[in-house]
Amino acid sequence: MAIEANRTDRFRAILVLAATLGTMAFNWLAAVGRVANTTPGEISAKYPTLVTPAGFAFSIWSLIYLGLLVFSIYQVLPANIARYRGIRSPYILSCALNCGWVYFWHFEQIAVCMMLIAALCITLFFINLKVAEIDSDGGYWPVQAPFSLYFGWITAAAIVNFAVMLAFLGYRTSANTETLIAVSLVLLAAILGLAVRAIWSNYLFPLPIAWALTGIAVKQSGQTLIVTAAAIGVIACLIATLSVVLRLPSSRFQA
């Protein structure tokens, strides 16, 4: 029996679209220096780490926001109003956490940002589980794909945020120890990519992690151990994603 949409469903569907547009607008304002007269890149440059990706890696946001916009339009269609009622509230929360992170980042509240991005990770994890349950029989590209990419990138970003927080707090250690910490964080990102792929059959999740690791390798091209670890992580994540094409482990996600 089909679930019928009610007035609350319609209102929240419109609110989702508004939240997406608002988040995109706020991030654009931040990117052009209209929030605290600085940009995310300028703040990042104040706290360099060995796992901060090269600037080009952040271009993935364009793809993520395009995907979220597609989802927002898709879920507001009459046929989908009732279908996605279970993820609208957490999605709106994710938009608030996203904007909150940007705001506090620009005011260099790095520890607060760490808490916000951790909360965003948890929220996206829940959304991905819920979407996989709702769309087990369809709706992959306009819904599951954007959230998989978003979740993967935020997971990698949270690891980088942790390293930035250490720099912000003035944590100092030897060069060798710093390198080992960076290698450990790189491998952690790769392991998380493989784990989510293996446990929840989310074969797009490793892709943004591979992209982030590529950015790290390029930025840290003089650090042999970090580049090697990143290369291993990239290869592993790509194999994990391509395994669905090569018909290796079966996937519950259906494109």
Amino acid at residue number 1: M
Lowest mean pLDDT among 2-11, 174-183, 186-195: 2-11
Rounded to two decimals, the pTM is 0.94
- Distance (Å, rounded) from C-alpha 175 to C-alpha 172? 9
150: number of CA atoms within 13 Å, CB side?
27
Residue 246 confidence (pLDDT) above 80: no
pLDDT value, residue 245:
66
- Distance (Å, rounded) from C-alpha 222 to C-alpha 226? 9
2 — pLDDT class (breaks 50, 70, 90): low
Q: pLDDT for 21-30, tens place per residue? A: 999 999 999 9
pLDDT value, residue 244:
74
Structure tokens at 71: 């989802």
Average pLDDT over residues 211-237: 98
Structure tokens at 85: 């009622």
pLDDT, the chain, mean: 93
The better pLDDT of the pair 58, 141 is held by 58
- Distance (Å, rounded) from C-alpha 28 to C-alpha 35? 10
Average pLDDT over residues 208-213: 99
Q: pLDDT for 34-77, tens place per residue? A: 999 999 999 999 999 999 999 999 999 999 999 999 999 999 99
164: number of CA atoms within 13 Å, CB side?
26
Closest CA to 213 of 162, 161, 157, 166: 157
pLDDT value, residue 4:
81
